[in-house]
Amino acid sequence: MHRPTPGPVPHRPSDVPPPRLYRPEEIADTLGCSAWWVKDRARRRLIPHTRVGRAYRFTAEHLAEIIRLYEERPAQPAQTAARATEPLSGPGTQTDSVQRRRPAVAPATRLRARPPRRQQQQYSTVA
């Protein structure tokens, strides 16, 4: 079978340097975590990376994406502000809005005591 020969590989212009590749230790220093954490996440394909042989390497774009992936934002700040402005009801009374906001909890099953292993008469003591 005849395989088609691949076309010429496009080359970068000589005035544009290749992107700098960072080692996991450098990424860990920047993120303030361990190199093990960076390698583990890369191995499990949870963060973007480049494999050069058996080594993990990262570009500046990879680092920016890792930071975006693990960025945390406040959860729904509009609802938090609305809750703070709601009037409080008297003690012991709940309004419908308070009851609706309560998270649903699965009904708990009652626990049963085990029957004793031995009859109580075995250990009767005469005092």
pLDDT per residue over 42-63, tens digit each?
999 999 999 999 999 999 999 9
Q: What is the mean pLDDT of the chain?
A: 79
What is the tens place of the pLDDT at every residue in 1-12? 566 666 666 666
The model's pTM: 0.49
Burial class of residue 16, CB neighbours in 10 A (0-12, 13-18, 19+): exposed
Coil, strand or helix at 101: helix
Residue whose tokens read 């494999």: 51
- The fraction of the chain above a pLDDT of 90, given in percent, is 42
* Beta strands, E only, 3-126: 50-52, 55-57
Domain boundary assignment for the chain: 24-69
Burial class of residue 48, CB neighbours in 10 A (0-12, 13-18, 19+): middle
**Is residue 31 pLDDT above 60, yes or no?**
yes
**Six token digits for residue 9:** 């590989």
